[in-house]
Amino acid sequence: MRKLRHQKRDNSASNRGQMAVVAILTAARDVLVEEGYPRLTMRNVATRAGITVGNLSYYYANKRDLMHDLVEAVLQGYFEDFEKITDNLEISPEERFEEMVRFIIGDLATKETTGFFPALWALANHDAFAAQEMAHIYQMERDSLAKVIGQLRPDLGKKERDLLALFISASMEGHTMFVGYRRDKASAIAEVTNIAVYSFLTLVKSIEARSIRGLKPVGKSAGKRLAS
């Protein structure tokens, strides 16, 4: 995760308040990342932002609004990141694809991302807003991926490209808990990234629509299993 993008709503002259909002959002993210969601309290955020609870409530009347802005700020950061890669036409589609994979896996190993996203996933299970924002950000990621997949495999239909993007995106996210910041297998990140690039590229270049639809290629073991 690189930086928070706070969209100011009103263009008031005062930038003192604007700075406070950035401090609050950064503090909130840091508390969430370093201490976890249950400790993301208004008091902790205020303390870390160097203000009082009362003043925090001046900027965010309630926790929900704060969470809202926090998630949106994180989102906006990724939106800008993905755009840069997708719009880089100086390199080939295959290179762009590899770059996306390396960017995403590289990002998920940062302290912020390793801390933030699992919290968001857990939240999304019981919080409609978190679920919606999560859907939004991953739709963006999949769209970027599907675009490049289309350039690599123009023969595939939109549905197949979207499913491949879904599979690849979800697979990458899964590595957060293993090669993420200070996680168990963090030392294997280089190798895992290499495998990811190889695996996803091979997948995209070789798969046939029937493998997705479930008609196993000839010689597969499925028949035998059904017989048993």
By rule CB under 8 A, what count of residues binds a copy of itself?
A: 68
Site for a copy of itself in 104-133 (CB under 8 A): 114-115, 118-119, 121-127, 131
The region, left, alpha or beta by phi > 0 then psi within -120 to 50, assigned to residue 214 is left
Task: Collapse the DSSP code of 216 into the 3-class scheme (helix H, G, I; strand E, B; otherwise coil) and give the result.
Answer: coil
The token pair that represents 223 in the structure block = 């028949």
**If binding is defined by CB under 7 A, does position 39 make contact with DNA?**
yes
**If binding is defined by CB under 7 A, does position 51 make contact with DNA?**
yes
- Indicate which of a copy of itself, DNA, none lies near residue 49 (CB less than 5 to 8 Å, by partner kind): none
**Of 43, 210, 213, 220, the one binding DNA by CB under 7 A:** 43
In the stretch 181-210, what mask flags binding to a copy of itself with x, by CB under 8 A? --xxx--x-xxx-xxx-xxx-xx--xx---
3-state helix, strand, coil in the chain (%, to 5): 75, 0, 25
Using a 10 angstrom Cβ sphere, with 0-12 exposed, 13-18 middle and 19 or more buried, the burial of residue 118 is middle
Instruction: Please state the φ and ψ torsions of residue 13, each to the nearest 5 degrees.
Output: -70, -30
CA distances from 148 to 69, 84, 142, 158 (A): 31, 14, 10, 12
**Of 11, 54, 154, 219, the one binding DNA by CB under 7 A:** 54
Nearer CB in complex with DNA: 40/168: 40
Nearest CA to 128 out of 173, 68, 169 is that of: 68
Task: Collapse the DSSP code of 156 into the 3-class scheme (helix H, G, I; strand E, B; otherwise coil) and give the result.
Answer: coil
Min separation Cβ 123 and DNA, Å: 13
- Indicate which of a copy of itself, DNA, none lies near residue 74 (CB less than 5 to 8 Å, by partner kind): none
**If binding is defined by CB under 7 A, does position 68 make contact with DNA?**
no
Angle between helices 93-108 and 111-124 (to 10 degrees): 80
Interatomic CA distance for residues 27 and 127, integer angstroms: 22
**Of 2, 8, 34, 58, the one binding DNA by CB under 7 A:** 58
- Indicate which of DNA, a copy of itself, none lies near residue 171 (CB less than 5 to 8 Å, by partner kind): a copy of itself
Residue with tokens 């401090």: 23
Site residues for a copy of itself per CB under 8 A: 34-39, 90-92, 94-95, 98-99, 114-115, 118-119, 121-127, 131, 134-135, 138, 163-164, 166-167, 169-179, 183-185, 188, 190-192, 194-196, 198-200, 202-203, 206-207, 211-214, 221, 224-225, 228
Site residues for DNA per CB under 7 A: 12, 14, 16-18, 20, 39-44, 51-55, 57-58, 61-64
